[in-house]
Amino acid sequence: MSDTVPMRRAAQRPDAESQLRALERLETECRVRGCRLTRQRRAVLRALLAEGGALSAYELLERLRRVDSRCTPAGVYRALEFWMTAGVVHRLQSTRSFILCEHPEAPHPGQLLICRECGQVIEAEDKGVVAAAIRLGERLGFVLDRHLVELTGVCGPCRAQGRAGDSGRSPTT
């Protein structure tokens, strides 16, 4: 517990099992769509599963290289791109990192809640937020096709642990 790196509630994500099942489904899905479920792509997915949270592309690269020293940034980004297109991985713009989708069954607009203390990321699919966003788009004449909603704050457990921070100020972009 006296690690120098910020603690990370690892492997706490809902269901590694069901995600592996989802992976099976992807395998067939891929074949249908004419793209390939390759070693490297599996490796990226496995690394993200093992981490149980978000990883930057280069953190991912480091892990992959432990197994296969020939991995390159380009390869990692290509695999990530592939999975993002498939809706299996999301990119966290506010932390420049990547995380497994928790509902990879179907593409969906999601919201990512990030705890600035423990780094935990929770993915939500909140109808209210999406509806409000779409209404806003309509009001301003936009037809939206990409929702980026990342909400940063402090999660319950971290507040309970006393690491409250100054939660007094109003939410800002």
Partner DNA sequence: GCCCTTATTGATACAATATATCATTTCGAT
Partner DNA sequence: ATCGAAATGATATATTGTATCAATAAGGGC
Out of 70, 127, 146, 169, name the contact with DNA by CB under 7 A: 70
168 binds DNA (CB under 7 A): no
Tell me which residue has tokens 């990370």: 8
Nearer to DNA, 47 or 79 (CB): 79
112 binds DNA (CB under 7 A): no
Question: Tokens for 59?
Answer: 């953190």
Nearer to DNA, 67 or 132 (CB): 67
Out of 10, 15, 16, 58, name the contact with DNA by CB under 7 A: 58
Amino acid at 12: Q
Q: Which does 68 bind (CB under 5 to 8 A by kind): Zn ion, DNA, its own copies, none?
A: DNA
Question: Tokens for 173?
Answer: 């972009």
Nearer to DNA, 39 or 135 (CB): 39
- Counting Cβ atoms within 10 Å, is residue 24 exposed (0-12), middle (13-18) or buried (19+)? exposed
How far is it, in rounded angstroms, from Cα 89 to Cα 99? 6
97 binds its own copies (CB under 8 A): no
